[in-house]
Structure 1
Amino acid sequence: MQSTISTQTDLSELYKGVRAHTQNLCEPLEVEDFVVQPVMDVSPLKWHLGHTTWFFETFVLKPNVSDYKEFHPKYPFLFNSYYISAGERWTRANRGQLTRPTVKEVFEYRAYVDQAMNQFLDMNELSKEVSEVIVLGCNHEQQHQELFLYDIKRILGDNPLNPQYIQKERKVKTVDAQKEWLNVAEGLYEIGFEGEGFHFDNEEGRHKVFLHEYQIASGLITNGEYMEFMKAGGYRDHMLWLSEAWDWVNENEIKAPRYWHQEDGGEWWHYTLDGYERVGEDDPLCHISYYEADAFARWKGCRLPTEQEWEVACNIYSPNVLPETNFVEAHQFRPIQTSDFDFFGNVWEWTSSPYTAYPYYNPPEGALGEYNGKFMVNQMVLRGGSFGTSKNHIRSTYRNFFHPHLRWMFSGIRLAKHI
């Protein structure tokens, strides 16, 4: 987990910028929005605020500031997530039961830790090891910023009032929606992180993969394309679905992407962070499970790319993030049409690769070694980032992962095929 942060001034600016962005995400909300937990996968928003603060208190301040006084002795129990090495934890499914601490008290906790962290950054010459933990903490908070957006959309999106999270003037572009197939030659390629700069441990180590010749789509699947799958009876054709996926479709009565509703007259509407609106057929598809992505690809006579194929194609066709890329800094809070290949931003792209360790993978010792490796089972890899991802948080080697039935995150589809 190296860092290219060269000075403590840079480190301090990174910390303050990340913490300020979290605060900005809170601005449109009412206090009642912070306390709801509709399902286990969604955490109350105040929990995200407390947990990301707990990270810095636990892994930076307490081990390195001799006279540091913990804000509250019970907060580590409430705000630890899954770090068994760091102590006991409150049950994840019951986070929404806690009306206390109040939202006000959680913000006071953040302010208390921010003051201590800023003083620590200003007054101490930090070791490489401590600096790397702080950079990890900032990247950890950026992950929770995106989860924060997933969760507030889930909280507001099932409310019959369809409340807006934020009102934005929609960015509409006229682009050529015609996709083409991008060729990648057969050969031996290297994937995984190399060089300087921050990266998570699951991006290590750099290794060679042999790929047969393949093609990958130049763009993301749109809402309109997915509507054709639905009209053709895609959700009713068991031949398109994996066995476990078919059970999921029937047990949960799945008939459309998350947040989609068919109104009188047959038009599809969906909830967005800007409120309830008609589905834009040319916009990139969002809120799709792996099960749905796989079934759609099968219906199209194609497949999902492996994560190795995705990374190699991205490095060939989108080696740099373009200025117009739809990350959270664009303030769109939705997938939009772009003239780019969309390997970065807009929506996370499902791959057909299970989340497993790379060759030479070596997690850190101690509690931080629990960050990624313990989740390498029963999950699938997604690549590329989304409109909720910070631009400085993503790279072609970044490996996101979710269970195949989940779809409250900002996930979509890119197709691939053999030649």
Structure 2
Amino acid sequence: MAQLSTFAGQTLAERYRCIRQQSVRLCADLTAEDMMVQSMPDASPAKWHLAHTTWFFEQFVLGHDPHYRPREPAWHYLFNSYYQSVGPMHARPQRGLLSRPSLEEVLAWRRHVDEVVCERLLREDGGAPTALVELGLQHEQQHQELLLTDIQHALWSNPLLPAYLRAAPQVTASVSMPLQFLPGREGVLEIGHAGDGFAFDNETPRHRTWLAPHALANRLVTNEEYAAFVHDGGYHEPSLWLSDAWATVQREGWERPLYWQPDLSSAFSLAGVRALDPAAPVCHVSYYEADAFARWAGARLPTEAEWEVAAAALPVEGNLLDGTPRPAQAATGQGLAQMYGDAWEWTASPYIAYPGFRPLPGSLGEYNGKFMCGQWVLRGGSCATPRNHVRASYRNFFSPQARWQFAGLRLARDR
């Protein structure tokens, strides 16, 4: 048998099965009606996520086999996301109108594609392009987090505020480590993928950058600290906000983080409305809100280079997705805490190409590079990020007004 890529002792075929099954398990407690809901244009129905990730493997992995025939060619129009070079696609804001194919048909399609991909992975002649399978699995893990964020927003949009995690324990108040600013490395340093293991094209090439003297907060900003910003009138003080940010606050009527209740002591979560742990990281804030809070606190957001240089010296440990998303936790220990997991960390860096960046060849070049305009970089993963999916060089990105992701912030200062 041909030598296959491994991860923690698993063959690529075994990893494929585990990751694909995890997506279905995340939907196990949802009804078919739940999985049809598209609560806003930026979100997608759970059924669409399951179908789109299957389309990805059929289009880019099985599409290399001249003998393979798509199960339902018309579905490629429905479940293409943004790959213009592949063909036209159904309008993103209208994904919630796709009552057909049914959920049962989508799940049957997944099983069919999985059977064919695994059969090719196990063939002695290397019947599947393993690099594309790996990319497809990383893509699937991105959609697992999107599944959870979109499910939370859909359920929050329901006046009944139903819970996704029905047996989750109640949040108990905890004590976070005192806030400290720790000096970061300075001078000419390297960031970007170091060449070991998988990385997306936007993490390359590794290159030198200059870091001025700076310090990073030892933990994420807490609910209690963010509540002080709200109580101090932060959402009503234009001097704290960027121009576009202030216009957004006024237009949208923002008064507090997304999902916080008016009492500022409880919030809607995947477990329903629960009391906020004052010491846990604030979550579901936009770049605009993170930047305004940092100004109010007499600090700033870290650059992605400052963050990466610090994180590269640490193991990937923290409150990440291990089957079901756990609530964010208070920081403990010494040194830099919560660099991975709990909440994605907004940085002060726009999402642009690294020097010498080259997108993937062909249609897959549309995966990341075409979005390098008007987006901001987040680092570190969240409680909804699969544990084996994040690394120090990983660059997440969203528009600055996005709030429905598991995003928080860490403060930084110049020295």
Q: TM-score range by the shorter chain?
A: over 0.9
TM-score (norm 2): 0.94
Instruction: For 1:379-390, list aligned pairs within 5 A.
Output: 379-390=375-386
Q: Is the 8 A contact 2:280 2:331 kept in 1?
A: no
1:334, distance to aligned residue in structure 2 (A)? 2.4
1:315, distance to aligned residue in structure 2 (A)? 2.3
Q: Is the 8 A contact 1:258 1:408 kept in 2?
A: yes
Is 1:107 aligned to residue 107 of structure 2?
yes
Residue 342 of structure 2 corresponds to which residue in structure 1?
A: 346
Q: Is the 8 A contact 1:8 1:121 kept in 2?
A: no
Is 1:336 aligned to residue 333 of structure 2?
no
1:73, distance to aligned residue in structure 2 (A)? 1.6
Residue 79 of structure 1 corresponds to which residue in structure 2?
A: 79
SS where residue 11 of structure 2 aligns? helix
Q: Is the 8 A contact 2:176 2:279 kept in 1?
A: no
Assess, with a 3 A threshold, how the Cα gap between structure 1 residues 95 and 177 changes in structure 2: closer, same or farther.
same
Give the alignment's Cα RMSD to 1 decimal: 1.9
Overall identity of the aligned pairs, in %: 44
Distance (Å, rounded) in 1 between the aligned partners of 2:362 and 2:393: 24
Q: Deviations over 1:131-166 (max 9, x none)?
A: 110000000000000000010000001212111101
Q: Deviations over 1:193-227 (max 9, x none)?
A: 01220000000011111111101000000110000
Q: Is the 8 A contact 1:267 1:278 kept in 2?
A: no
Residue 144 of structure 1 corresponds to which residue in structure 2?
A: 143
| Higher deviation after alignment, 364-373 or 8-17 | 8-17
Assess, with a 3 A threshold, how the Cα gap between structure 1 residues 308 and 358 changes in structure 2: closer, same or farther.
same
Assess, with a 3 A threshold, how the Cα gap between structure 1 residues 7 and 230 changes in structure 2: closer, same or farther.
closer
Q: Is the 8 A contact 2:304 2:349 kept in 1?
A: yes
Q: Is the 8 A contact 1:168 1:332 kept in 2?
A: no
1:62, distance to aligned residue in structure 2 (A)? 2.3
Is 1:276 aligned to residue 273 of structure 2?
yes
Distance (Å, rounded) in 2 between the aligned partners of 1:9 and 1:339: 33
Q: Provide structure 2 residue ranges, at least 5 long, that are not aligned to the other structure.
A: none
| Higher deviation after alignment, 237-246 or 183-192 | 183-192
Residue 89 of structure 1 corresponds to which residue in structure 2?
A: 89
Distance (Å, rounded) in 2 between the aligned partners of 1:196 and 1:15: 20
Q: Deviations over 1:7-43 (max 9, x none)?
A: 9961101101110110110111111111011211011
SS where residue 413 of structure 2 aligns? strand
Q: Deviations over 1:92-118 (max 9, x none)?
A: 111111211111111111111111112
Q: Provide structure 1 residue ranges, at least 5 long, that are not aligned to the other structure.
A: none
Distance (Å, rounded) in 1 between the aligned partners of 2:21 and 2:151: 18
Q: Deviations over 1:45-95 (max 9, x none)?
A: 11100000001111111212x432211020110111011111111111111
Assess, with a 3 A threshold, how the Cα gap between structure 1 residues 38 and 173 changes in structure 2: closer, same or farther.
closer
Residue 374 of structure 1 corresponds to which residue in structure 2?
A: 370
AA partner of residue 330 (structure 2): Q
Residue 213 of structure 1 corresponds to which residue in structure 2?
A: 213
Residue 321 of structure 1 corresponds to which residue in structure 2?
A: 316
Q: Is the 8 A contact 2:205 2:355 kept in 1?
A: yes
Q: Is the 8 A contact 1:234 1:296 kept in 2?
A: yes
Residue 16 of structure 1 corresponds to which residue in structure 2?
A: 17
Distance (Å, rounded) in 2 between the aligned partners of 1:276 and 1:137: 35
Is 1:153 aligned to residue 162 of structure 2?
no
Distance (Å, rounded) in 2 between the aligned partners of 1:268 and 1:200: 39
1:171, distance to aligned residue in structure 2 (A)? 7.3
